[in-house]
Structure 1
Amino acid sequence: MPRTRFAADLDRRSFLTVAGAVAASTGIGLTLGGGGRAGAAHPGPAAAPALSRKAPPPPLAPYTRGTTLQSVAAPGTVSGFRRLGDGPAWPRVVRSDLAAANGGRDERRTTLAAFVQFTDLHIVDVQHPLRYEYLRAQTTSAWRPQETLTVAGAVSLVERVNALRGAPATGAPLGFVMTTGDTTDNNARCELDWYLRVMSGGTITPDTGDPRRYEGVQSSGLPLYWHPGDDLRDADKRLGFPRIDGLLDAARRPVRSPGLNVPWYATVGNHDVLPGGCYAPGDEGWFRDFAVGGRKLMSLDETRGDAFWRTVKKGLDPKGARFRELMRTEARRLRPVTPDPSRAPYTPAEYVKAHLDPARTGPGPVGHGYTDENLDTDTRHYSFRISGDVIGISLDTTDAGGHYEGSLGTGQLRWLERTLKGNRDAYAIVFSHHTGATMRNTRPDPARPDETRHGGDELTALLAQHRNVLAWVNGHSHKNAITAHDGFWEISTASHIDFPQLARVIELTDNGDGTLSLFTTLIESAAPHRTDFDDLSEPGLAALYRELSLNAPGAKQTLSGTPADRNTELVLRKP
């Protein structure tokens, strides 16, 4: 059996004790800095984390249980409403694009780091007035039949991580979880609160508006949407979607999250700070008033919908002027809903403040990477120490000028370069929301109008210049993809809202022969693969969340990627 030696001889409990002690003593966990200096500790005691299931001690050997190396949810049929069950495992693929995979390396290797990536959770307030479900005919991302269950699905993912016995390739302790953006969907304060409670522990009531009834599109009587609680022959039922009485009420019930039992960090995405994931509102007051108000558009003429979606897709409405005009001209179609102040959009500064709130610390660190320096400088990038030999760098690739594609400003690009040079003796893992291929939006940042914006090609070239960069970990595309660049690997992971709803464990090892390996292992939530339409418990809803995402009309069937994008060993030369 392969032997795995640990860079630091810590068991899981010791690791968490040390991490907690560091967080308590510094106030910033393992954070190195945002715009330059470390943030100060926050006064007052942090709230006690929610009780969580204790994971058993990690084995000193690889394992597969609870991962896609053991089994993957897979459909048993190819047509109609497809039911999920236990499918064949995804094997581990060794990729030697950047270095040869030498024999005997598994007997020599030392573990340097192990962590989990969450991305694109898209916690959704499904009754929110700023949603554009009426564009469902134009884009599948406008509305998904599973969206009422995002909180149940995210809590089940937390439970999966809590139950892992360590890192599956090496058995090393898991150091932390990193979210790589789009944790919320509508840039709503209620969604931000739900996400923070999912991660750090607490009770979530995923409901806004009238507490007595659901007021969204699934009770509208419009056949464009699946109505689970009645006999309307809507578009989805014509494709085989079932009637499930009580689903909408069950989806709005309070849910208890145990919170993660490892520290967690955050990387910001476009849906986290831009209304609709794409608008830099020129009239923030209008967006706020409409979000918290009592009117909602649920249907739109298809011809007008086609034209409107083209403007969004091409980035022609970065400040939402055409969106506001659409709401004005479609005023007669707007339906009444119960106003709710918790639906108000939050600013980038409020996003950082929410992470710094001691009540949201959970297992730490305070701020989850963000510091007071980020507030002082209006930034959302930082670096932190992963282990003695490895640093993490979290970037903000959202373009505040609008549109859902991203870029970096010159100031952040130069900070990244200084950080890599100043830590040239440490390995570096870079985190962002956007992929290199989706950083083509160089629209100026309204807060820094004279600053040049830089796309994915420039960022890729900069990372390649620094040989200590081993990996660039990101999301946004909702698809598993692993790309070999000059000297480092770009690891993109599928979302947790579209099927197959995955997260990824990443492990770094020194192979003792002049090479390093990055192991990637995909995991699903803890929900059972098989569903029962009569089971509206929390695990039952999480299982249904997955099965509905499989059957969502128009959903892409290629988001799981190829075998070389899933469970892998990525070999590269030591710098």
Structure 2
Amino acid sequence: MPGEPWVLRDEWSVAAASNGTTQNKASMAYFAHLSDVHIIDEESPARAIHSPIAAESAWRPYDAYSTHMLDAAMRTINEFAEVHPHDFVLFSGDVTDTHLFIELRWFIDVVEGNPIDPDTGDDDNPMATGVVDPHDPYTPVGLSPQIPWYVCLGNHDAWVLGSLGASVVASPTCSSATPLVSHAVVPTCFAELPCPGGYCYPETPERCHVPMDDGYYTSSSIPPDPDRRYIDLEEFKTMVMQATVQGPSGHGFTMENLNDGTNYFSVD
């Protein structure tokens, strides 16, 4: 059976611009799009790097460097904008990993270029002199003040692990986690490739994994921190609207969003 006929949609005259039949070629917009930034407080006991419902891939070797990675992205966008000014930057959801206050605070501070201390609890994991410690305080470059940015809500900005209610996981402000979802886990590194139950874990990264078998991980308690608390959608929108180093006002959100509880917006 034949399918539906092709219908040419060229309201923006893309075809004419590409084949050279138009003399008025112009770019409609220059912008940068970042999705799933996932700023992470990797020390939070509410993370599911080991649980019956999450895979070992919930642990990633670069977790502690999430703010540094975002700062590097801001530097890159600034350099592109020097060549051609950007109209805006769009963050299309999941700027936080577990909708924690400190994760959103770090996200805003990196984008705005505010001094940041990407550590929670005590400074209990110092690294040797000369080694870049991801938990050391620093001042990010931040996005150029001339570039406006917008942010949309993602599932990780609203739910624990992007899908769960806070009542079923460990409190992120405590010093240890419940066995239901997560433990404060130190990934185990193996000299030889581990093959528990006949399944061999991949050799990268560096043979450090958090396997599902309880015999292959170690747990520890961590210093509690009240800044690890969960935030609701109203506080998320309020914090974003209070960011003023770059425009526009509210970064997409308005008082209407706060008053009626909506989380969407449109921009002309």
Q: Which range, TM-score by smaller chain?
A: 0.7 to 0.9
Q: Distance in 1 between matches of 2:253 and 2:78?
A: 24
Q: Distance in 1 between matches of 2:253 and 2:24?
A: 37
Aligned twin of 1:486: none
Specify the code of the residue in structure 2 equivalent to 1:139: A
Partner secondary structure for residue 29 of structure 2: strand
Specify the code of the residue in structure 2 equivalent to 1:134: H
Q: Distance in 1 between matches of 2:244 and 2:86?
A: 18
Matched, 1:376 2:242: no
Deviations 1:457-502 (A, max 9, x none): xxxxxxxxxxxxxxxxxxxxxxxxxxxxxxxxxxxxxxxxxxxxxx
Specify the code of the residue in structure 1 equivalent to 2:222: V
Aligned twin of 2:97: 185
State whether residues 113 and 175 of structure 1, in contact with CA within 8 Å, keep that contact through their aligned partners in structure 2.
yes
Deviations 1:164-196 (A, max 9, x none): 1467xxx5x311101001111121111110000
- With over 3 angstroms needed to count, the CA separation of the structure-2 counterparts of 1:382 and 1:202, relative to structure 1, is same
Within the candidate set 274, 289, 293, 2:159 is matched to 274
Within the candidate set 115, 121, 138, 2:37 is matched to 121
Specify the code of the residue in structure 2 equivalent to 1:335: S
Aligned twin of 1:146: 62
Within the candidate set 129, 140, 143, 1:257 is matched to 140
Aligned twin of 2:204: none
Matches within 5 A, 1:255-334: 255-261=138-144, 262-281=147-166, 283=167, 290-296=171-177, 297=183, 298=185
- With over 3 angstroms needed to count, the CA separation of the structure-2 counterparts of 1:163 and 1:209, relative to structure 1, is same
Within the candidate set 337, 342, 347, 2:222 is matched to 337
Q: Distance in 2 between matches of 1:142 and 1:247?
A: 29
- With over 3 angstroms needed to count, the CA separation of the structure-2 counterparts of 1:252 and 1:299, relative to structure 1, is closer
Aligned twin of 2:206: none
Partner secondary structure for residue 276 of structure 1: coil
Specify the code of the residue in structure 2 equivalent to 1:367: G
Deviations 1:233-252 (A, max 9, x none): xxxxxxxxxxxx66987110
Partner secondary structure for residue 250 of structure 1: coil
Q: Distance in 2 between matches of 1:105 and 1:146?
A: 49
In the TM superposition, residue 271 of structure 1 has moved relative to its aligned partner by: 0.7
In the TM superposition, residue 134 of structure 1 has moved relative to its aligned partner by: 1.6
Q: Distance in 2 between matches of 1:384 and 1:276?
A: 29
In the TM superposition, residue 279 of structure 1 has moved relative to its aligned partner by: 1.0
In the TM superposition, residue 111 of structure 1 has moved relative to its aligned partner by: 2.9
Aligned twin of 1:366: 249
Partner secondary structure for residue 103 of structure 2: helix
State whether residues 40 and 63 of structure 2, in contact with CA within 8 Å, keep that contact through their aligned partners in structure 1.
yes
Q: Distance in 1 between matches of 2:23 and 2:51?
A: 54
Q: Unaligned regions of 5+ residues in structure 2, if any?
A: 1-7, 178-182, 188-195, 197-217
Aligned twin of 1:393: none
State whether residues 295 and 334 of structure 1, in contact with CA within 8 Å, keep that contact through their aligned partners in structure 2.
no
State whether residues 119 and 181 of structure 1, in contact with CA within 8 Å, keep that contact through their aligned partners in structure 2.
yes
State whether residues 292 and 340 of structure 1, in contact with CA within 8 Å, keep that contact through their aligned partners in structure 2.
yes
Bigger proportion of residues as strand:
1
State whether residues 181 and 267 of structure 1, in contact with CA within 8 Å, keep that contact through their aligned partners in structure 2.
yes
Within the candidate set 55, 69, 76, 1:160 is matched to 76
In the TM superposition, residue 106 of structure 1 has moved relative to its aligned partner by: 7.4
Matched, 1:200 2:112: yes
Matched, 1:355 2:252: no
Aligned twin of 1:111: 27
- With over 3 angstroms needed to count, the CA separation of the structure-2 counterparts of 1:189 and 1:137, relative to structure 1, is closer
Matches within 5 A, 1:525-544: none
Q: Distance in 2 between matches of 1:137 and 1:278?
A: 11
Specify the code of the residue in structure 2 equivalent to 1:187: H
Instruction: Give TM-score, length-normalised by structure 1.
Output: 0.35
- With over 3 angstroms needed to count, the CA separation of the structure-2 counterparts of 1:209 and 1:299, relative to structure 1, is closer
In the TM superposition, residue 364 of structure 1 has moved relative to its aligned partner by: 1.2
Specify the code of the residue in structure 2 equivalent to 1:291: P
Deviations 1:482-537 (A, max 9, x none): xxxxxxxxxxxxxxxxxxxxxxxxxxxxxxxxxxxxxxxxxxxxxxxxxxxxxxxx
- With over 3 angstroms needed to count, the CA separation of the structure-2 counterparts of 1:136 and 1:103, relative to structure 1, is farther
Q: Distance in 2 between matches of 1:174 and 1:299?
A: 42
State whether residues 134 and 299 of structure 1, in contact with CA within 8 Å, keep that contact through their aligned partners in structure 2.
no
Aligned twin of 1:446: none
Q: Distance in 2 between matches of 1:364 and 1:278?
A: 31
Specify the code of the residue in structure 1 equivalent to 2:104: L
Partner secondary structure for residue 117 of structure 1: strand
Instruction: Give TM-score, length-normalised by structure 2.
Output: 0.72
Specify the code of the residue in structure 1 equivalent to 2:224: P
- With over 3 angstroms needed to count, the CA separation of the structure-2 counterparts of 1:150 and 1:299, relative to structure 1, is closer
Aligned-residue RMSD, C-alpha: 3.1
Partner secondary structure for residue 178 of structure 1: strand
Aligned twin of 2:125: 213
In the TM superposition, residue 213 of structure 1 has moved relative to its aligned partner by: 2.7
State whether residues 49 and 56 of structure 2, in contact with CA within 8 Å, keep that contact through their aligned partners in structure 1.
no
Specify the code of the residue in structure 2 equivalent to 1:293: C
- With over 3 angstroms needed to count, the CA separation of the structure-2 counterparts of 1:155 and 1:136, relative to structure 1, is farther
In the TM superposition, residue 346 of structure 1 has moved relative to its aligned partner by: 0.5
State whether residues 264 and 365 of structure 1, in contact with CA within 8 Å, keep that contact through their aligned partners in structure 2.
yes
